Chain A
């Protein structure tokens, strides 16, 4: 048994705690360090996976990089110059919470292994309840990061329309993104569903190509009950941390960081394109 952790999981939330628990269960001989606070020192040179809440991700990632440790993180909002450079040179890689959904983990693998033949486009829509509108930016960044992982090509052009959808703040993002390999992504996120207890909403991902079309609707992983009192459903999404840790390992093994670089650029350029109301070349 090694005395040094084989993996460091950063963050102090349900996701990071569950990930640490599952990682330990899966590989009992490889200790996992749960790095709960940025104030704490990094205890080993083990790879870092940042599953922290969005406000803390940049801090954890920067601390890991400062210690000379490569990191994989959930989307980072407004990365500074150092973090951008780390993404550009591959020391920091990005994944999406959506990679934790088994359906989408499988779809991502199929999209990358040539199942669709010549890829035409990616369509992704995520509708969330109106009472989760304050999470819209995070939902967009997760969807953008996931879509880029289906394409793995440099981003070349972005057009964006935003809408308040009758409210006082931005409630919808409608993104058209063109990539260097000619793949075109249509990404739509809107807080437009009736109020609900959970933010999951309706998610649809399609990848079209010459040989196949991949279509995933993860919300179909649920139990739908139509009864006298109306319709109710309970989702039974599998624990996402297993798939997130698998994705982190995949990312670390990639020779290039094209996916993360395109995701970072798309997350940034969407604001520029929305303000300009014109396509932005990348």
Chain B
């Protein structure tokens, strides 16, 4: 197979913790040509550690290169639409981090741009690429638990989730004072940071689109200005009920973990991070999980598979392993949950369609 030449836009937390290491692992299929980040030091750190040829502080310069086959966009969601459309118009195939965009309208424009320019677009819902969820889904698809009735997922994140990763760089602060991920001007918080994963999995396991959602959210942690706690109940069109409680900003000693339970009329599937990390240290300060984040079963080698399968699809001219429409629907669900939590209303997904706005 021909090696594909890649450019990566946004060298922040998820790039350094997941995408760049995965690309390095996939070196037989991928050659990292260039990276771009508005923060020169972040881009330079990526070049130094992962061996890119060069770096740019303006992503458009990267897109202007003729020797790049695909771009991996690892920026915040509010930049995705602009950057994906630009990449599509530059003729690059696109892998873009979740959540797909900040609005459903933006997601539709991204899909339209990819189609108009005949490039592949895939959104990186990484959990679809883990052994854990693929095995669970396979059991469901084979009918081993009968008809699905309930999909329950809970996710917990400690305050210091990324502290053990020794990242070269962290979250970008657009206004210079606080990271975008905790700034209400730039994000809706847990609904898009975490819940879009759970929304996508719930929809996948339910095997249907959602009809409506009820949600509650709050700001739980200190010094936080976006909702870091979200709980919701989804009613799917086929009657399946989905639910998740997502709690961030838990004590530092608490592990990062995800729980999935799927109940059918003939059985159930349960997948937990083991109680709750493969490596735990007990000390005076309590229990710590030094390798929790990158060793968890619900992550395993997801990014290697996600990027590897995306590249393989380009190489052989196959459709993307994950249709961007799925990511668009997960985004719509997350935004519906935000609306419900703010208003107290049951929000129907039909309300989230751009034509009804």
Contact = CB atoms under 8 A, between A and B. Distances in A.
Contacts, number: 110
Interface residues of A, number: 37
A213 interface: yes
B156 interface: yes
B220 A166 contact: no
Interface string B229-270: 101110100010101010101110010000000010111100
Interface stretch (B19-27, B77-85, B144-152, B175-183): B144-152
B203 to A, nearest CB: 16
Interface stretch (A33-41, A81-89, A120-128): A120-128
B319 interface: no
A178 B233 contact: no
A186 interface: yes
A2 interface: no
A210 B219 CA distance: 12
Contact of A166 (B149, B216, B249, B267): B149
Interface string A177-215: 010001010101010111000000000001010111100
B251 A174 contact: no
Given A192-B263, A213-B254, A176 B231 contact: yes
A117 to B, nearest CB: 8
B231 A186 contact: yes
A184 B216 contact: yes
Nearest to A162: B241
Contacts of A188: 152, 243
Given A157-B344, A159-B346, A279 B152 contact: no
Interface of B: 147, 149-150, 152, 154, 156, 212, 214-218, 220-222, 229, 231-233, 235, 239, 241, 243, 245, 247, 249-251, 254, 263, 265-268, 340, 344-346
24 contacts: A118-B222, A120-B218, A120-B229, A121-B218, A157-B216, A159-B214, A159-B233, A159-B346, A160-B214, A161-B235, A164-B239, A176-B215, A176-B231, A186-B243, A190-B263, A192-B150, A192-B268, A210-B251, A211-B251, A213-B156, A277-B212, A277-B346, A278-B346, A279-B345
Interface of A: 117-118, 120-121, 123, 125, 127, 157, 159-161, 163-166, 172, 174, 176, 178, 182, 184, 186, 188, 190, 192-194, 206, 208, 210-213, 277-279, 281
